[in-house]
Amino acid sequence: MKKLIILTALFMLFACQTESEKNGGIGQIDRSVNLVTPSGESIKTILAISPTEQEKGLSGVKPEDFSENEGMLFFDLEDNERYFWMPDTYFDLDLIYLDKDLKIVEIVRKLPHHIGRSNPHLIPRAPRVWARHVLEMKATSEIAKKLKTGDTLGWKSPMTLKETEDKIKESFKKD
């Protein structure tokens, strides 16, 4: 029951929208997709699209509330230097950097967690990597451990990857 309440709260967090997102239509995009590995394994993935969602990331999420086969995809519209740190995280993460076609360009393994936000200089940081998207998964995930640079993930959602990008671009133009 406790897990159900926490999961509901997590999904409500992603359902909450800023006024700009409501007006721009970002809130209409399904935040839950499945990514498929080359071996056919499915990763239940939450999309982090808005700056608020991306800043929050997996901060505050307890290990029992995020399964081994789940991921969070930091979804962007252009390539850029990606930089991550681990404030208020409760489990180590693998960061899987992807290009526009979901091809893995780099993987940072076992980035240490850091409970809280005190002592910012001690909070672990990943190296800067040039990529379009970043998938975060638990470092203990057997699926994540099998992924390697050069693999391409599949996109399984009611909207295609291109349709999702177009919808987000359209909503940003309205802002």
Task: Give the domain ranges of the chain.
Answer: 29-166
| Per-residue pLDDT at 20 | 41
| Per-residue confidence (pLDDT) for residue 8, from 0 to 100 | 40
- 28-66 tens-digit pLDDT: 677 899 999 999 999 999 999 999 999 999 999 999 999
Other CB atoms within 10 Å distance of the CB of residue 54: 16
Using alpha carbons only, give the angle 110, 112, 116 rounded to the nearest 5 degrees.
Answer: 150
**Per-residue pLDDT at 62:** 96
Supply the pLDDT for residue 171. Answer: 80
Query: Taking the model in full, what pTM does it have?
Result: 0.83
What do you get for the CA distance between the two ends of the chain, in Å? Answer: 40
20-33 confidence digits (pLDDT tens): 444 334 556 778 99
User: Tens digits of per-residue pLDDT, 95-116?
Assistant: 999 999 999 999 999 999 999 9
What SS3 state is found at 7?
A: helix
pLDDT category, 137, cuts 50, 70, 90? very high
Q: What CATH number labels 29-166?
A: 2.60.120.1140
Task: Identify the band that residue 130 occupies on the pLDDT scale cut at 50, 70 and 90.
Answer: very high
Residue 109 confidence (pLDDT): 98
CB-based burial label for 172 (10 Å; 0-12, 13-18, 19+):
middle
